[in-house]
């Protein structure tokens, strides 16, 4: 019996044609690109030249009536995500939803309702949850070699005069809705507790449109940990992508290919005091601790033990559908990400 899943890609733009389709081709034993659909005929024509055996549609209703399709990857423009998800689920399809999953609290509530109405049929594509460096950093944190983690910095910087639809508020654009879901998801996981407070600053720096292209969010967890997140299209000299500060060491990665570590030798016992209030001897011009740290310094290639990489997400979708293996991105996690973003956007509007 053929256990492959036939996928219909709804929306043949940057995400649908150039992300979903190549990812599906990685797993030919699991998936078949059964059809593509877009209201733009030139998009459909290009899809047809690339996937000549797949059905082509410009009519969404005809596309949904294709009984051979098991899964619909919803990759239409952001404003349509919830509406098209609802249509696909009502047609009996499994849905794999591209981010941003929702653009308002009402849409978030509707997705939550749809998930209850169609249990086990709605999945959320937070593909950067599977990034190799993100997973490796989490493994190092969990190892305890850096000690208690008190602050983590996440950065995605570039500088560009971007002028496409994702720079327009009227199209649901902006970095909060573009990179935001990925890095907010990372932040909530790395926080390892519920947020006690979230501070934000959202602005436009270089983008041609009117939507945000520079965001800064600072999460403070109930556990005291701080996550300092920055996503920008207006920073010409990028900062390291990851910086992790622990009480026994520091980690950073500039390029997500190599991780640099400097941490106290595991056999080194840090002094516990007591400190003293007497002034230092007059012949000692500078402060000098009596006990010097013993460091271990390493530069390691990114290679998480769990073997994850970003393009793996469709494999996990298959296992969830065919083998009942829990999908790593839960509905609660995905919609919590969008709730955070909606809250930041609301605060930004009030600040103006």
Task: Report pLDDT for 349.
Answer: 61
Cα–Cα nearest to 310, from 132, 135, 124? 132
- CA dist 207 and 326 (Å) reads 39
Cα–Cα nearest to 316, from 324, 231, 176, 225? 324
Task: Report pLDDT for 277.
Answer: 82
Mean pLDDT by 10 residues, the chain (352 residues): 88 96 97 98 98 98 98 98 98 98 97 98 97 98 98 97 95 96 98 97 96 97 98 97 98 97 95 81 70 94 94 96 97 98 84 53
Find out whether 288 and 281 touch, Cβ atoms under 8 Å: no
Domains annotated on the chain, with CATH: 5-128+311-329 (3.40.50.720), 132-272+288-308 (3.30.360.10)
- The angle formed by the CA atoms of residues 78, 84 and 90, to the nearest 5 degrees, is 155
- CA dist 33 and 56 (Å) reads 11
- CA dist 250 and 262 (Å) reads 5
Task: Report pLDDT for 350.
Answer: 62
CB count within 10 Å of CB 254 equals 15
Find out whether 220 and 197 touch, Cβ atoms under 8 Å: yes
| Residue 156 three-state SS | strand
C-alpha separations of 121 from 14, 52, 89, 94, 206 in Å = 24, 28, 8, 5, 40
- The model carries a pTM of 0.94
- The angle formed by the CA atoms of residues 282, 284 and 287, to the nearest 5 degrees, is 125
Task: Report pLDDT for 130.
Answer: 97
């Amino acid at each position: 019996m053929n256990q492959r899943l036939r996928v219909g890609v709804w929306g043949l733009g940057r995400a649908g044609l150039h992300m979903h389709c190549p990812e599906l081709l990685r797993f030919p034993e699991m998936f078949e690109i059964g059809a593509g659909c877009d209201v733009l005929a030139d998009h459909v024509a290009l899809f047809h030249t690339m996937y000549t055996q797949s059905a082509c549609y410009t009519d969404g209703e005809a596309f949904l009536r294709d009984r051979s399709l098991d899964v619909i990857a919803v990759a239409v423009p952001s404003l349509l995500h919830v509406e098209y998800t609802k249509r696909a689920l009502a047609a009996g399809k499994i849905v794999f939803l591209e981010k941003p999953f929702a653009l308002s609290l009402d849409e978030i509530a509707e997705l939550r309702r749809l998930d209850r109405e169609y249990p086990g049929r709605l999945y959320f594509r937070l593909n950067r949850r599977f990034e190799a460096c993100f997973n490796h950093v989490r493994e190092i944190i969990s190892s305890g070699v850096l000690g208690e983690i008190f602050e983590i910095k996440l950065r995605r910087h570039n500088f560009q005069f971007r002028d496409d639809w994702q720079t327009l508020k009227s199209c649901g654009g902006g970095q909060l809705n573009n990179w935001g879901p990925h890095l907010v998801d990372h932040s909530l996981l790395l926080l390892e507790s519920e947020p006690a407070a979230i501070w934000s600053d959202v602005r436009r720096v270089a983008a041609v449109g009117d939507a945000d292209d520079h965001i800064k969010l600072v999460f403070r967890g109930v556990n005291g940990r701080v996550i300092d997140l920055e996503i920008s299209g207006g920073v010409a000299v990028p900062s390291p992508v990851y910086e992790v500060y622990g009480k026994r060491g520091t980690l950073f990665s500039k390029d997500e290919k190599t991780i640099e570590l400097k941490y106290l030798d595991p056999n080194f016992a840090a002094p516990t005091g007591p400190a003293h209030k007497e002034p230092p001897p007059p012949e000692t011009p500078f402060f000098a601790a009596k006990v010097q740290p013993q460091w271990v310094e390493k530069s390691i290639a990114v290679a998480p033990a769990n073997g994850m990489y970003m393009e793996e997400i469709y494999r996990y979708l298959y296992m969830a559908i065919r083998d009942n293996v829990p999908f790593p991105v839960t509905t609660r996690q995905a919609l919590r990400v969008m709730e955070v973003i909606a809250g930041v956007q609301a605060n930004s509007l009030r600040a103006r």
